[in-house]
Structure 1
Amino acid sequence: MKKLVILGGGESGVGTAILGKKQGFDVFLSDGGAVKPHYQEILNLNGIRWEQQQHTEAEILSAHVVMKSPGIPDKASIVQKIRESKIPVVSEIEFAIPYTNATIIAITGSNGKTTTTLLTYHLLKNGGLHVGLGGNIGKSFAWQVAEQDFDCYVLEVSSFQLDDSYTFKPHIAIITNLSPDHLDRYNYQYESYIASKFRITMNQSENDYLIYDADDETLVQFLSKIDTKATKIPFSITKPLPVGGTLNENTMKLKLNDDNFSIDTAHLALEGKHNVKNAMAATSVAMLMKIRKETIRESLSNFQGVEHRLEKVLKIQNVQYINDSKATNVNATFFALDSMTTPTVWIVGGVDKGNDYTELMALVREKVKAIICLGVDNRKIIDAFGNVVDVMVEVGSMQDAVRTAQRIAEKGDTVLLSPACASFDLFENYEDRGRQFKLAVQNL
C-alpha cells in the first residue's frame, strides 16, 4: 500500500486526505500548528491518522508521496528534509487531477483571479453546466473529486500550487495579469514568480486554450519566450486585435473562431476598466464552452461580485463607503483608485511587501483628497504622499479610521478602504480587516 503524507490540516489538506483514503492510500496528515476542531472531526470520522503542533519525521519520511499545502514555504526544514530524501512533493491539484475526467478551467494571475474565477463559474453554472468551483476558493478540489462527479471545474490556482504541479493540464487556462507579489517566496526574483505562473500552460496541447491580457507587457514578453502549444486568446482594452476580446468605446467585443459576441459595458454588473478585462476572460471561456449568448449577457449583468473587492458597503449622507480589503498590493489598489469617479478619502496601510508607491502618484494627485494611514508602520506612505494630499492622518484602529473618514468626507465623496498591504499587523487576514471595516461603517 502506498503511503500519502499530507502537510497542513486546512481545507486542501483534509480534502486531499479524503481523496487519498478513497483511492487506497495509507494516509497520514501532519500540521505544525493547530487543526481546526471541524477538520479534526472529519479526519476521525474517515479513520485518517493525523497529528498537530508537530511533525514526526519517521512518519513523514516514510512517504511515497507528499502533498504540501500551498501556505507552507519550501524553506521549512521538514520540506527540505523531504526533498533531500527524494520523496515527490505535489500540490493538491496535482494529486487530484488523475482521478477526474472533468474539463478543467484554471485561472491564475497577480490580481483579478478571484473575480474572474467566480464570474466564469457564474456564467457556466447559469449556462446549465454541471460545474464545480475550487482551488484557492470554496471547497477543496480534491474533496470534490472524491465526493462529487462534476463535468467541469473552474479552479483559481496560485503560483504556489503551480510550483508543485507537473502533469496538470487545464483545457482552458487564464493568466489575468502579472505584478510583483509574494516575492518573499521567490527569493525576490520576479522572473521566478512569473515562471511559476506560466506553469499553467506547460502541458497544454493544440486542443487547449490560453487566455491572457495582451495589455500586460511583462506577460506578453514572457509568453514570446516560452513554448506553449495552446491556442492563444488575447484580450485588450487599448488596442484592436484580430481575435479575442477588445473594447470599442463602450462596447466589449469578443471574436473566437467564427463566433462573435458584444455587450455594452453599461450592462456589466462590475464597474471599472479592470473588470471589463475580467469579463472578457470569463466570456471567452463561456463562448468556448458553448454557452448561449443571451445567458452570457444576463449573467454578466446580474453577477454579485466578490466580498472585499471593491464591495459597496453603504451610502451614508451621500458618501459611498467601499471595501477593497482584498487589495493587498499596489497593483490592486491602482485598479481601485483608477475606478473612482468622485473625490476619495483613501484608507491605506498594513504590512508592506516591499511596495513602490510611485505608480499611484498620478491617481492620488487626481482623485484623493485625504489619506488615512492604518498600519503599525506608515513611514513609506507618509514619505510618498505627504506633499501630495492636503490631509494625512494616522490612526490605530479600523473604528478610528472610519470615524475619521466620516469627519473628512463631504457629500458626493467616496471613502475607499484599499490598503495596498498585507493585514497581519492589526488583523487576522484581509477578510477580518474587510469585515471590521463594514461593521465600523454600519455603526456610524
Structure 2
Amino acid sequence: MVFESLSEKLQNALGKLKGKGKLSEKDVDNAMREVRLALLEADVNFKVVKDFTKSVKQRAVGSEVMESLTPGQQVIKIVNEELTNLMGESETKINFASSPPTVILMCGLQGAGKTTTSAKLANNLKKQNKNPLLVACDVYRPAAIKQLKVVGEKVGVPVFTMGDKNSPVDIAKAAIEHGRKNNNDCIIIDTAGRLHIDEGLMEELQDINDSVNPQEILLVVDSMTGQDAVNVAEIFNEKLGITGIALTKLDGDARGGAALSIRTVTGKPIKFIGMGEKMDQLEPFHPDRMASRILGMGDVLSLIEKAQVSIDEKKAKELEKKIRSQQFTLDDFLDQIDQVKNLGPLDELLGMIPGVNSKALKNLDVDEKEIVKIQAVIQSMTLEERTDPSIIDSSRRKRIAKGSGTTVQDVNKLLKQFKETKKMMRRFTDMEKTMKKKGKSRFPFF
C-alpha cells in the first residue's frame, strides 16, 4: 500500500498528542523526534526532514496551538499543511500550447517505466477529448519501438515511427509535421534511456529539446528507488530543465521518500503518479489529498472521482428502481461487484475512507479471490436461478458448485450473503417511506 510504513509511524507519533488537554514544548519535541525518525526511515532527504520538522515545531509551539482547546488536533492540522506544502501545495496540470500541437518530451533512465507512462499519459489525454500521437524516438533499446506500438494499440493511440536507422532528432521533427497534418493536438515523444546518466544521453535529449521546443519535459522516475530517484531528478533538471515529474510504481512504495523529497530538491512539481500496471492507472498528483491519506484522514475526493468514472450512472438509476420495487436479482448483485472491481484494489479504496488508518488495513484480509469465486458461482446459474434464487434446491446447488469449480458451502455462503443484502435494502426502503410520511427529506442512501 502507498506509504504504508510511513503512514503508520506518523499516525502513531501524532496520535499520542490527541488525548492531551494541554501540550508542552517537551510533548511537541518528543512527537517531532518520532516524526523525524519516521521520515528518515522512509528515505526522505535529510535536509528536507530537518526543514520540515523545524517548520512544524515553530508553528506547534505558537499560541495557535498552545492556547487551543484541542492542541493535539491543531498539531496534526499543521503537519497536514506542511506535508502538503512539501509535495507542492496543489495539483499542477499539463501546460497546453495556446496553438496546437502541445509537445511533451518524456525522459528518464531505463527501467523507470517511460514507454508505458507515455501510453498511459496518451490515454489520460484521450479522456480529456484530446487527439494524442505517440512518437518512437528510442532507436537503441531492442524492441523499444515494438513495445510503444503494443501499448499504443492498447489505448487506441497512433504511434509515429521511422524505424531505428534515423536519428531521434529527425524522427521528432518529422513527427511534429505528421501531427499537424493529422490534427494531433498532443504529441508525446518517447525518448531513449540509459542504465545511468551519461553525456551522450543528455546531449541527445538537449538536441531533441532544441529541435522541437516542447511545452512539457516530463521526467519519469521509479519511486521505489527512493533517494536515487531524487538524485536522478536533480541531475536531469540541471541539464535539461524539466517542467514536471511522473512518479511510477507508487502503489508498491511503502516508504515514500521520493514523493516527499523530489519537489523540494528540484523545485519542479510531481504532475502524475503511476498507481498500477493498467493503462488507466496514471493519476494527476494532488499533494493535499496525498497528505490526508498519509495521516489517515482519507481521500474522499479521489474516491468520488473514481466512482464517477467507473460507475455507470444509468445502471445506478436502474438499480435504485429495482431496490425500491424489491426486484434486486443475483444478476444485479454481479453487476455491482463488477463496478466495484473497476474502482481498483479494495485495500486502496478503503485507504481513501477517512478514519481507516494503515494499521487497520494491514490487519485486514482483503481477498480479491473471493470476488472471483462469487462471480464464478453466479455465472454458473441459469437465468431463472439468478432471477429467483429461492428455487435453488440441494441438487441445483451441487450442479452450480461443480460448474463453478467451487463447493456447495461456497454456493450456500453466497446465497446467504445475497439474502442478507436484500434484507438490508428492504430496511433502507422502509425507513425512507417512514421518513417521507413524517415529512422529512429523502433517505440519504438513495
| TM-score normalised by the chain length of structure 2 | 0.28
- Whichever structure has more strand as a proportion of its residues is 1
- Whichever structure has more helix as a proportion of its residues is 2
Higher relative contact order (CA 8 A, sep 6+): 2
| TM-score normalised by the chain length of structure 1 | 0.28
